[in-house]
Amino acid sequence: MSGIRVLVGTRKGAFILTSDGTRRQWEVNGPLFGGWELFHLKGSPVDPNRIYASQTSSWFGQVIQRSDDGGKTWNPPGTKPEDLMGPDGMPKGESNMFLYKGSVGTHKWYDGSQRPWEFKRIWHLEPSLTDPDTVYAGAEDAALFKSVNGGVTWEEVPGLRGAKGDLWQPGAGGMCLHTIVLDPSHPDRIVVAISAAGTFRSDDAGVTWRPINRGLKSPYELPDPDAEVGHCVHRIANHPSRPDTLYMQKHWDVLRSDDAGESWHEISGNLPSDFGFPIVVHAHEPETVYVVPIKSDSEHYPPEGKLRVYRSRTGGNEWEGLTKGLPQEHCYVNILRDAMAVDSLDPCGVYVGTTGGQVYASADSGDSWTPIVRDLPPVLSVEVQTLA
């Protein structure tokens, strides 16, 4: 029977939740890297033992960790900040970590030179669809990095900031590259989203880029209705069987593109609010989409204090609120952009992590929910690996 591994990043460490294919009983392992912010963990889609993790500390900086045994051990092996740094504040020896302290953290720039790069954190990790040693990292301030040797060394993906990067502005959470979408049908295609710059696409493996924001409306932020950049995109998702169809949760508006981002149209329909952060697609139904609305950009909690995951089985416009097993009174948590995921079992499982420290799971595509763990630190990310 297949099993499930849920990777949870929180403000104070990482947790790995495992279950068999029934998804009724869960084993909780953690905290890993206790005391660090774990912004994102994600497993390789081609090697179930490979997991990458982005851990951040305001004192020690940014580290990217790698596990080759499903999260049992990590490289570098130290899980305490002091194990990773020498007395001079520099990283100890050669290891597969990418980190900074102040302006420390050298990478190769466009001109081939090695110079320091200052950034705050790695928001998102996206392993290759075909090679477990290739992985992308989205940074704040916005930049895209790539490693082809399992994180031992990193290089910035060229050209992205040439896509009108001088006009990018930070959103409320910073100017972060938070979404990386790889296209299984077009191996050289990469789509990224940046807050608050918009969505960008490369069709030549990252050499050149262009904005793909036609149809996005941001009247409060951008007086020009045809502005190519400056839109605050919160999250993008697609389905492997239909990669040209992209779904977007924006700063106000839920949208859809059927031409790989060339144009977008609104699908908010009957949602109680079209403001939110995460959006995911059902594992087997490319027209089934999930979002979690929150009240507004100033009130980051569910409308009416009721936690409801909304599902559309028609690719948008018509939405149903899923409430069974979710708190329906006095609930004021938020669900962040990387804190919702699906598994690939049948029926599809859906997972949601909250800033209140709960992880809710549905083993029936959202019809009913149960908390599989409570009282964690605020959840930053949720990802799922299906195990043979």
SS3 state of residue 305: helix
For 116, phi then psi, to 5°, come to -65, 150
Res 81: pLDDT: 47
DSSP secondary structure string for all residues of 30-59? EEETTTSEEEEEEE-SS-TT-EEEEEEETT
Report how far residue 197's alpha carbon sits from residue 220's, in angstroms, rounded to the nearest whole number. Answer: 14
H or E element: which one contains 83? helix 81-84
* Number of domains within the chain: 1
Res 121: pLDDT: 87
SS3 state of residue 167: helix
Chain centroid to CA 105: 23
Model confidence pLDDT, tens digit, residues 73-92: 887 544 444 555 455 444 45
Instruction: Say how many C-beta atoms besides its own lie within 10 A of residue 212's C-beta.
Output: 23
pTM of the model: 0.91
Amino acid letter, residue 376: L
Model confidence pLDDT, tens digit, residues 298-313: 999 999 999 999 999 9
Instruction: Say how many C-beta atoms besides its own lie within 10 A of residue 138's C-beta.
Output: 26
Report which DSSP code applies to 166.
Answer: G
Instruction: Collect the ranges in the chain with pLDDT lower than 50.
Output: 77-81, 85, 88-91, 93-111
Res 59: pLDDT: 75
Residue 150 CA: distances (Å) to CA of 14, 187, 225, 337: 20, 19, 42, 25
Domain with 311 in it: what CATH number? Answer: 2.130.10.10
Q: Which residue range is the domain that position 348 belongs to?
A: 3-387
